[in-house]
Amino acid sequence: MKKLAQVDVGWTLFLDRDGVINERIFGGYILDYTDFRFKEGVLESSKELFGKFARVIVVTNQQCVAKGLISEVELAVLHEKMLSDFQNEGATIDRVYAALELKDSAPFMRKPHPMMAELAKQEFPEIDFAKSIMVGDTDSDVRFGKNLGMKTVLIRSEEKTSVVPDLELKRLDELIDFI
């Protein structure tokens, strides 16, 4: 089995949210934590997987805020509940960055733009994008990672993709076998 990278505690794991951490609602949005469903194996493997990295950062496009479907505060509460569930498993996510604007509108926080990664590097200067892995389920996630020089992992879903990642997996917990 070919390893994606020889990860040590100097590495950073960047994760998309919908479709990687939780079940994605195609054609809709997670607007309440009662609709938030962790993908199979994510919580159970999180302590082992996240423990291999210096930092774990979530980068998520959430245009539902700009559409007025959920407030910024409600999204923050949803993320706090998600972080709490990970904490209960002994796993830590260092920060969640959410792009709240509509597609193609300023300030261009949305992936594949690098802004969320740049904000993470400002907050955590030790982040080295060459020693980072981006895991997502869309072309914009993979482009985000590739544009920054990260290793890229695509979690397969019904989403049609054309950008070739470094590794394709069915589930996030499978990544443990490749690092």
Cα distance between residue 19 and residue 159, in whole Å: 9
**Structure-token pair, residue 85:** 């569930």
Cα distance between residue 61 and residue 53, in whole Å: 23
Q: How confident is the model at residue 108 (pLDDT cuts 50, 70, 90)?
A: confident
CB-based contact 132:7 (threshold 8 Å) = no
Domain assignments of the chain as residue spans, ordered by start: 20-178
Three-state SS string over 77-141 comes to: HHHHHHHHHHHHCCCCCCEEEEECCCCCCCCCCCCCCCHHHHHHHHHCCCCCHHHEEEEECCHHH
User: Catalytic residue at 16?
Assistant: yes
**Structure-token pair, residue 178:** 């490749």
Catalytic residue among 16, 94, 141, 166: 16
Query: Which pTM value belongs to this model?
Result: 0.96
Catalytic residue among 18, 137, 139, 141: 18
Edge-to-edge strands of the sheet including 132-136? Answer: 95-99, 55-61, 12-15, 132-136, 151-155, 167-169
Instruction: Please write the tens of the pLDDT for every residue from 4-29.
Output: 888 988 999 999 999 999 999 998 99
Residue range 20-178 forms a domain whose CATH class is alpha beta
Instruction: Please write the tens of the pLDDT for every residue from 24-71.
Output: 999 899 999 999 999 999 999 999 999 999 999 999 999 999 999 999
